[in-house]
Structure formats: C-alpha cells, structure tokens
C-alpha cells in the first residue's frame, strides 16, 4: 500500500491552504467540514492575510508551520499553486489534494501550470489528487476534506468520480436513503492519482467491499485493467462511462482535458476488467443501495412475494428481460405456503399473498420463501390496501432479514402512506425502491458481476501467452516487406496479394491470387488455376472494389475472363479517373454452398490500443453492424466469447439441420489473427472481409492491410 495515498484518506494532520472566514469560499467550506464533522486530527489554516480562521491560529505559509503535516489541501488561485507545491515539498509533505480549477481543462495556459506542478511532484515524490476536484471524504474517521455540504454515513462502498457535481448529487441522495460509503473521492483532472491507483488502494482496504465509478477518461489503461481485474476477482465494481456518442465524447474531453476513447472499445475494456458497465446514474444509485446494505446473490434465481398480481407480473417481465430467472419453488416450499396462506393464493412464483394480507401473513410467506434453496434472492412488493400495514410489514421483513444470508429487495409502492415503512426498511439495512423495476435492475446488475467474475476465473485457466508464431525468419521477411513498401513504393498499405501472403504465414487460409496486367495474361492465369475464377481491380485508390464495379464473379471461360478484365478497368476509370491501376487480380472462385461470410478486423483505439473486430461480413457489413470487439491478446476463451456475442453465432452453430461452422477452428483463426497483429504493431488497420467458412473449411477471400 502506498503510504502517501493512505495519508490522503487517513491523515492525523491537515494544512488547509486558502482557509478563510468568508462562507462563500472553498477554503471556508473545507476547513469548516474538517472541524465541525468530528475529525480528530490537527488542522492548520494557511492564509497570509489572517491571524486566525474560525477561532484557530492561522499560519502565513505552509513553511511557517514548522513541522511536517500528513496532508495539504490547496484551494487558492491556479497561478499560486506551483509555488505552494514547492513549499509543501520543502516541508516534506508527500500527500496533496488540489481542489483549485483552471489547469489542463482550460487550455494551454492552464496546461503549462499543470506541467510545472507535475515536475515538482516528481521532484519531491508526492502523490496528488486533482486538480479541479471536490476533495475526499472518509466517513469512518469523520474526515471530510471537501467542499461538499454533508458527509455520508459509514459503509462499505467506495465511490470514485471525475465529476464533483455528480459526487454532491449522489451524496445528497445517499444520505436520504441510508447508503454508507467507505470512501468518497472526487479525482477531477487526474494529474497524478487516477482510477488505477485508487482501485489498487481500495483493494487493500478491508472496509471497501465494492466500488462504483464515474468515468470520463482513462489515462493508464494497462494499469487500470490490471488493478480492476485483481479487485473484481473478489469484489464488484460498477461504472458509468460518459461520452458514449461523439457529441458526449467531445464534451468529456473539454471537461477533463483528456482524450476519450471510442465507446465500443471501452465496453470491451471494462468487460475484460470484470467491471459491470451501466448507462444511467439511476442504475449506479440502485446497485449502490443494495451493495451498501447486503451481500451478493449466489445466482440469478429470484423469488417474488407480493400482495398484488399486477406488480408481480411487471417484476417477472423485468426479471426475464434482464436475464434473470423466476425461481422454481421446491415441493417443501409449496407445501408450507399452502398451509400458511389462504387457499386461493397464486400457487406459484410470484407468490401472491393477496390484497387483504396483513403483516403476519407477509411474515410467514417471506420466511418460507427465504428458506427455499432454489432461490438466490427475494423481492418483496407491498401495495397499499385498506387493511394493509406498511410499518408492521416492514418490521417483519427486517426481523427475517437478520436471520438469513440472502439478499432481500423491497418495493413499498406509494407515497405518503408507505413513507414510514420505507424509512424502517432502510434503517434496518434493507434496500427499498419506489417501484419494482429498479430493484430488479439492482439484482440483475449484481448477477452480471457474478458472470463477469466467472469469466475472469475461466479465462485465467486458458493460457494467454503467445501462440506459436511463424519462424523468426518468416516474420522478419514480412517486416522487411512492409518496410520496403513504405520506403520505396511510397504507399502505406499491402495489396491483396501481399496481405494474403502474410495471412497464410499465420495459418489463416486464403485463396491463391495472382496479378494480371492485360486480358490475355488474366485468361492464362485463369486457365492455369482452373475455372471458375474471380477478377478484382487492384488500385491503391480504390479500397471498396465492389462499389467501383471492380469485382467479377464466377467466370468460366477464357473469353469471359478477357471481357471481364476490360470491363473492370473501364468501371474503375469511370469510378475514379485519377486512380492508379496496378492491374487485375485473378483467383480461384471458392463456392462454399451455405457458407457464412464473416469479417475479422483490427481497430486501433487512442486509449486502449489494438482491438479485434469480429462479426457478420460481406457487402452488408456496415448495414448489419453485427459485431463484437475484443482487446488483445485473444486466447481460445476470449475468441469463443467474441464469436458468441454476435447474432450470426446462432447460425454458425448450425440451424434447423443446416451445417454450421467448426467453432473450434474459427476460434483458432481468431487467435492466429490476434498473434499476427501482436507481432506487427506497425499495422494500423487490417480487414478480412469476407472470411467465408463452412464446417472445417475457411478462406479469406479479400483482405487488406494499412501500415
């Protein structure tokens, strides 16, 4: 554990630089929080214009304190911060929070200040949270070094956010709903400490049993995944990543002074890290409520107890839609319920205890259902009826919850009539939601984490080390080819023939392809390789050959080949009269009747680096958008996952008696492709479209590489 980060959350002494008696200032809010919310450490207000602040002796500078303190919190104008960091360094302060804004997020002037601070940080071996942040809160020691107006109650959820405003909103909501936190952190622009550092720190904090994140950007992707995978192998992380669309990404970059990666690769990265991604703040809050109060379910089987049929059906629909399962009640449970409930109860799950149910009947039904080993969690729905008892029923549920290690989700539907019941549930550590759907969302998200954790465990059993690359001599030959193409031919791509040669070296089957310069040469090549054949235009300026009329299929005679050659050249010139035409390729026409057209490609993300695209291929690839994206490297486990995430997977398995693809063989092709792009980091883009496959036969029919 980094002791410098530890002192940010557990200091015994704090210097508040910019402390003030003016209530509208950040310096006032930080010092006020520290001295009024129960922090037992020593506070040193720093302000050269004051002799005292809030009745505490004030120091003109950090240096004048005369002794080292554990933590400095800086809330002064941006231009003053570098000199203050120098002072802290000279005094031996290693832990700093910079609340001040006006750095990298505002442009070049602020970035210069930030760079100056970074140099000083390195010089004095400091760790810094911020700048442009709200601060940090550790409720376990009543430590609030922020300008938030309140502190949360103690709990076991760690919260890390790049948005200070989101912090205050969630904090206010959490206090109202009795949600406790182990630590509450606003990290702002992440000049130094970022998500990876804090996830690693919280992994060693026994009080933190789960983490929720608000992410705008990631600056240390490899460290982030490593730290997150270690944490999520034992405990859950849930995250919102903003900037899902282009407009949002631009907003995020402006707000944090950081570059946002493309959203689909973020999805792949968070999944590889074992993190459950949510898209709404509501989802983050819902799951935080449950995590703060109880443990995880063992699986996705839910039992529902309700006093109204409609909400029970709504809950069932929501559960199934989110991948959950309605628990099948055991015979023992059914017998017990038959004894305890009126004869016209629902006799099924959801367990409808009927509208006239009072607290005693609820208690009996819930107790019986909690004992059923076929369920992994219980959802209790209460709707107000003339004879119902919201408070007494809540009290009964609270008694039962203490006796079982199984999560309970509740929805006391209504407003004023159920308010006291809801308060009682929350006070007893039972999450309660205004309608059933948010409770089902929380249950489903918790189960999704369990599935990701299982994936982490399974993937670790499969060797993720390199597959057997081609011989060093062959790889070197390919690298030399790429180097020559870039330097001598003044182009940044491999043509189809060169690309297919590279693919063949990595065990990715292709069709033999030769280049013809005239119709007669094309006819002779076709005669040699055997009919039928395919002709394609080869030009550095025509990448989408079909769009240019540059592909002719199923040619079966020499005369047909000659005519096709001439037509392709004419079409290409009409398509782009300035295009440089190198010739026309001739290859064997591969006909896999009933075969599947796939795409395998490489996408390079500015944050996460190389990622593999797999999915439905052919001319409709952009229209179908049936794809999965996976980070490098791929092993057989990750390759199988990539295939299973696509819609075409159901067809690839074989459908209604039709032959499918050999999935194991396809996995091997993806792993080989992963190794190819790993061995050749100079490849910027590579596209195999289509790869046609049926059974154990596969061919890359068209491919290109950009370097």
User: Is it the case that residue 587 has pLDDT exceeding 60?
Assistant: yes
How many Å apart are CA 422 and CA 431, to the nearest integer?
9
pLDDT, residue 103, reads 83
User: Is it the case that residue 620 has pLDDT exceeding 80?
Assistant: no
Among the ranges given (3-7, 276-280, 449-453, 603-607), the one the predictor scored with the smallest mean pLDDT: 603-607
pLDDT, residue 246, reads 55
pLDDT band at residue 469 using 50, 70 and 90 as cut-offs:
low
- Mean pLDDT for 600-628 is 86
pLDDT, residue 413, reads 96
How many Å apart are CA 147 and CA 136, to the nearest integer?
9
Longest dimension (CA), the chain: 101
pLDDT, residue 237, reads 97
- What does the pLDDT look like over 157-184, one tens digit per residue? 999 999 888 888 888 888 888 899 999 9
611, 637, 642 from 649: Cα distances, Å: 20, 15, 10
- Return the DSSP state at 416: G
- What does the pLDDT look like over 187-211, one tens digit per residue? 999 999 999 999 999 999 999 999 9
pLDDT, residue 463, reads 62
- What does the pLDDT look like over 207-225, one tens digit per residue? 999 999 999 989 899 999 9
pLDDT, residue 468, reads 60
- What does the pLDDT look like over 16-47, one tens digit per residue? 999 999 999 999 999 999 999 999 999 999 99
- Mean pLDDT for 606-617 is 89
pLDDT, residue 376, reads 96
The most confident of the ranges 130-134, 495-499, 593-597 is 130-134
pLDDT, residue 253, reads 35
pLDDT, residue 163, reads 86
pLDDT band at residue 568 using 50, 70 and 90 as cut-offs:
very high
- Terminal-residue alpha carbon distance, the chain: 42
pLDDT, residue 154, reads 94
How many Å apart are CA 559 and CA 503, to the nearest integer?
32
| Element (DSSP H or E) covering residue 706 | strand 703-706
How many Å apart are CA 526 and CA 515, to the nearest integer?
11
How many Å apart are CA 28 and CA 14, to the nearest integer?
14
Q: Check if the beta carbon of residue 183 is closer than 8 Å to that of residue 218.
A: no
Coil vs helix vs strand at 609: strand
How many Å apart are CA 203 and CA 214, to the nearest integer?
18
The average confidence (pLDDT) of the chain is 90
How many Å apart are CA 486 and CA 599, to the nearest integer?
26
pLDDT, residue 261, reads 41
pLDDT, residue 238, reads 97
pLDDT, residue 252, reads 39
Helix axes 472-487, 496-505, angle to 10 degrees: 160
pLDDT band at residue 674 using 50, 70 and 90 as cut-offs:
very high
| Residue 577: exposure state from Cβ atoms within 10 A (0-12, 13-18, ≥19) | exposed
How many Å apart are CA 32 and CA 529, to the nearest integer?
85
pLDDT band at residue 94 using 50, 70 and 90 as cut-offs:
very high
| Long-range contacts, stretch 82-90, CB < 8 angstroms, 24+ apart | 82/113, 82/116, 82/117, 82/120, 84/17, 85/117, 85/120, 85/121, 85/124, 85/126, 86/120, 87/61, 87/62, 87/63, 88/15, 88/62, 88/124, 88/126, 89/120, 89/123, 89/124, 89/126, 90/63, 90/124
Whose CA is closest to 139, among 4, 289, 285, 39? 39
pLDDT, residue 258, reads 31
- Mean pLDDT for 531-540 is 90
Would you put residue 185 in left (φ > 0), alpha (ψ -120 to 50) or beta?
beta
239, 557, 613 from 707: Cα distances, Å: 35, 37, 17
| Residue 172: exposure state from Cβ atoms within 10 A (0-12, 13-18, ≥19) | middle
pLDDT band at residue 11 using 50, 70 and 90 as cut-offs:
very high
How many Å apart are CA 420 and CA 392, to the nearest integer?
10
- What does the pLDDT look like over 248-301, one tens digit per residue? 444 433 222 232 347 888 999 999 999 999 988 899 999 999 999 999 999 999
Written as six digits, the tokens of 451 are: 């599935």
Tokens 């907003």 belong to residue:
251
Q: How large a percentage of the chain has pLDDT more than 90?
A: 69
Q: Check if the beta carbon of residue 103 is closer than 8 Å to that of residue 127.
A: no
How many Å apart are CA 327 and CA 618, to the nearest integer?
43
Domain architecture of the chain: domains with CATH: 1-134 (3.40.50.720), 152-293 (3.40.50.261), 303-430 (3.40.50.261), 462-509+592-707 (3.30.470.20), 512-589 (3.30.1490.20)
| Element (DSSP H or E) covering residue 52 | strand 52-53
Whose CA is closest to 232, among 468, 568, 481, 457? 457
């Amino acid at each position: 554990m980094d002791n410098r980060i530890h002192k940010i959350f557990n200091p015994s002494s704090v210097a508040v630089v910019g402390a003030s008696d003016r209530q509208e200032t950040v310096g006032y809010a930080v010092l006020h929080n520290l001295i009024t919310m129960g922090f037992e450490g020593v506070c040193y207000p720093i302000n050269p214009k004051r002799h005292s602040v809030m009745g505490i002796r004030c120091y003109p500078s950090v240096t004048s304190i005369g002794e080292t303190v554990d933590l400095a919190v800086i809330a002064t104008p941006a231009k003053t911060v570098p000199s203050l960091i120098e002072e802290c360094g000279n005094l031996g302060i290693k832990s700093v929070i910079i609340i001040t804004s006006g750095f990298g997020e505002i442009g070049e002037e602020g970035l210069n200040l930030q760079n100056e601070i970074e140099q000083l940080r390195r010089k004095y071996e400091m760790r810094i949270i911020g700048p442009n942040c709200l601060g940090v809160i550790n409720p376990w020691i009543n430590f609030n070094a922020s300008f938030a107006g309140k502190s949360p109650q103690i709990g076991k959820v760690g919260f890390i956010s790049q948005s200070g405003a989101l912090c205050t909103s969630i904090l206010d909501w959490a206090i109202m709903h009795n949600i406790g936190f182990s630590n509450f952190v606003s990290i702002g622009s992440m000049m130094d400490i970022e998500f990876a550092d804090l996830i690693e720190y919280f992994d060693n904090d026994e009080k933190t049993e789960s983490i929720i994140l608000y992410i705008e950007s990631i600056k240390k992707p490899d460290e982030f995944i490593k730290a997150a995978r270690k944490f999520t192998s034992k405990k859950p992380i849930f995250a919102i990543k903003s900037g899902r669309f282009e407009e949002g990404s631009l907003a995020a970059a402006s707000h944090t002074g950081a570059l946002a990666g493309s959203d689909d690769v973020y999805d792949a990265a968070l999944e590889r890290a074992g993190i459950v991604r949510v898209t709404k703040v509501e989802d983050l809050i819902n799951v935080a409520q449950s995590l703060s109060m109880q443990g995880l379910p063992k699986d996705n089987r839910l039992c529902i107890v309700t006093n109204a049929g409609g909400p029970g059906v709504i809950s069932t629909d929501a559960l199934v839609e989110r991948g959950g399962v309605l628990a099948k009640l055991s015979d023992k449970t059914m017998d017990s319920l038959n004894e305890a409930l009126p004869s016209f109860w629902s006799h099924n799950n959801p367990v409808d205890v009927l509208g006239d149910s009072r607290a005693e009947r609820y208690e009996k039904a819930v107790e019986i259902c909690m004992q059923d080993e076929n369920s992994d969690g219980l959802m209790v729905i209460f709707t107000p009826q003339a004879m119902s008892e919201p408070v007494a029923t809540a009290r009964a549920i609270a008694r039962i919850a203490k006796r079982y290690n199984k999560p309970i989700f509740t929805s006391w539907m209504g407003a004023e009539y159920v308010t006291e019941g809801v308060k009682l549930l929350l006070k007893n550590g039972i999450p309660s939601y205004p309608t059933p759907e948010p409770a089902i969302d929380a249950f489903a998200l918790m189960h999704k984490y369990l599935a990701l954790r299982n994936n982490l465990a399974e993937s670790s059993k499969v060797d993720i080390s390199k597959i057997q690359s081609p011989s060093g001599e062959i790889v070197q030959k390919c690298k030399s080819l790429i180097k020559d193409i870039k330097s001598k031919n003044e182009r940044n791509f491999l043509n189809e023939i060169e690309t297919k040669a590279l693919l063949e070296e990595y065990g990715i089957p292709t069709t033999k392809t030769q280049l013809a310069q005239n119709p007669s040469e094309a006819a002779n090549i076709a005669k040699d390789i055997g009919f039928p054949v395919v002709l394609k235009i080869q030009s550095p300026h025509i990448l989408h050959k079909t769009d240019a009329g540059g592909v002719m299929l199923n040619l079966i005679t020499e005369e047909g080949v000659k005519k096709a050659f001439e037509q392709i050249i004419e079409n290409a010139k009409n398509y782009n009269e300035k295009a440089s035409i190198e010739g026309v390729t001739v290859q064997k026409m591969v006909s896999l009747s009933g075969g599947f057209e796939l795409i395998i490609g490489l996408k390079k993300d500015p944050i996460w680096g190389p990622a593999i695209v797999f999915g439905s291929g052919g001319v409709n690839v952009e229209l179908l958008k049936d794809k999965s994206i996976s980070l490098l490297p791929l092993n057989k486990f990750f390759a199988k996952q990539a295939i299973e995430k696509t819609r075409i997977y159901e067809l690839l398995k074989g459908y209604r008696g039709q032959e499918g693809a050999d999935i194991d063989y396809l996995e091997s092709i993806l792993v080989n492709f992963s190794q190819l792009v790993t061995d050749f980091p100079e490849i910027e883009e590579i596209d195999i479209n289509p790869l046609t496959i049926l059974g154990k036969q596969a061919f890359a029919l068209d491919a290109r590489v950009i370097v």
